[in-house]
Structure 1
């Protein structure tokens, strides 16, 4: 049995969820896929797949085999790429996790050029504001903002963005602009539920001021924060990345600029215990360069 070929077949079956879809992806007949998986199960002495109402899914043993097989395939691809040199180009599938709003504003627009430069590469963009398990979700690189929860994670800092108190020009025309943090009590606030839950900290002349705002609207996603602010519902604290188009047009204005807020960092986080693939490195280099260009 071709061990690498068998691993590639099993990985494709798990990824696609069926023998027929895996056969189409591998450009071989479905009986050949079924036979390869059966032979692999016989050699290992364990059941790797089970049939469910949604198709095929890995057993516990199958999932363990799948994770290690996928890693072995990726490392073999990396070895070939290193031997051939950069001219060989990137290929395979790159799975990227990112927050929805950040990806919509700053990542998706980079993909046409990236894919055109690497015609043998596919990208799967998983959008979720939550922190997901990179190994379980088979993520190659995650773009995460703020403090990293796992200090042992393999990570690279890509860029940093200022954070400001902001709202639409229409909101300020209706309510007026706050002159100091203490004025925020008289304003409507849009609070990000995944942040500091309404505690906003400002620094001015070496001292820190904390303001607890009890905004009537609390939102669990950055996309919801954007929508509420752009609907003139109140002010919020956000990174400049989050409202870049509206700040450039003047629709959104910052206030209390003399009071500084901690900036927010963007990190590329890679699965612990795995080599960082060439495709993940190339993608993160692209994002970092684009953000530097936007900042400049």
Structure 2
């Protein structure tokens, strides 16, 4: 019997309060437990327990030994758990919720790599631009873009995203470009959302500025608005992960660059009770590593 096991027996006896109950909990005989306690005291040359026919209590040094032994056992169990976890692999069903356009443009091409790296994980992806109640609707992980409200969700920023105001080169040549956000009322605006009058957010001298705009076209899909802007139908106010490639190809040009709002975050969020899940943690790590290698037009990696 090694010293660690003697410690475990001693701690179990103190916790149980009697040799008989401790022996039952450990699946050992009472005689064997008593023998190991006497061997422990003999090796330490101290008396740890005061035993009578009806009670058991620790001596002063026995109490100190109990407390230190408990810490040692906890540390060993923690080490064992960490090593076992490193050898374990993520498995099971992972339900993920993400915004529609981000999901189709950026998650979709990357997910085969995640599934290839974790063959025991099944993934169910729901794309929706509304804010999904992860806990109430039974999701394990969500992708959120922009400012996060106060909540109990665990959040990890994986990238940053900028909003830009843009149009086609042809539209700018025909109609001109606004010099300040308030002038957008004179132009055709393409609205990303659910209403035909929305607020576009800018910044002036570091302070937020909201401008109300209206337009004939409103869509709840950013790619529809991007394509309309590329076709010369007006100005759009969209995230760089939607329009970045079109800007790089010269299909869109930006305006009001000096009025851009601060970059927003792209976050992986999940309920606190799911943070022990290997699949959840693997997906969060995958998100960060994927967008740490962001290409032009995609969200910038978080610092």
TM-score tier after normalising by the smaller chain length: 0.5 to 0.7
Q: Determine if the alignment matches structure 1 residue 220 to structure 2 residue 220.
A: yes
Cα separation, partners in 2 of 1:241 and 1:117, compared to 1, 3 Å: same
Maintained 8 Å contact 1:268/1:284: yes
> 1:99-110 residue pairs with structure 2 within 5 A?
99-110=99-110
Deviation at 1:226, TM superposition (A): 2.9
Maintained 8 Å contact 2:163/2:237: yes
Gaps of 5+ in 1: 1-79
SS in 1 for 2:95: strand
State the partner residue of 2:237: 237
State the partner residue of 1:255: 255
Cα separation, partners in 2 of 1:86 and 1:108, compared to 1, 3 Å: farther
Give the superposed CA RMSD. 2.7
How far, CA to CA, are the matches of 2:108 and 2:97 in structure 1? 12
Bigger shift: residues 187-196 or 278-287: 187-196
State the partner residue of 2:5: none
Bigger shift: residues 240-249 or 171-180: 171-180
Cα separation, partners in 2 of 1:274 and 1:206, compared to 1, 3 Å: closer
SS in 2 for 1:245: helix
Deviation at 1:154, TM superposition (A): 2.4
Maintained 8 Å contact 1:190/1:236: yes
> 1:38-77 residue pairs with structure 2 within 5 A?
none
Gaps of 5+ in 2: 1-79, 295-299
The count of corresponding residues between Structure 1 and Structure 2 is 217
State the partner residue of 2:278: 278
Cα separation, partners in 2 of 1:98 and 1:279, compared to 1, 3 Å: same
Deviation at 1:199, TM superposition (A): 2.3
Deviation at 1:126, TM superposition (A): 0.8
How far, CA to CA, are the matches of 2:81 and 2:247 in structure 1? 42
How far, CA to CA, are the matches of 1:101 and 1:239 in structure 2? 10
Bigger shift: residues 214-223 or 253-262: 214-223
Alignment deviations for residues 203-225 of structure 1 (CA, whole Å, 9 cap, x no partner)? 34456554322222232333443
> 1:85-100 residue pairs with structure 2 within 5 A?
85-100=85-100
Cα separation, partners in 2 of 1:86 and 1:186, compared to 1, 3 Å: same
Bigger shift: residues 100-109 or 278-287: 278-287
SS in 1 for 2:112: helix
Maintained 8 Å contact 1:190/1:216: yes
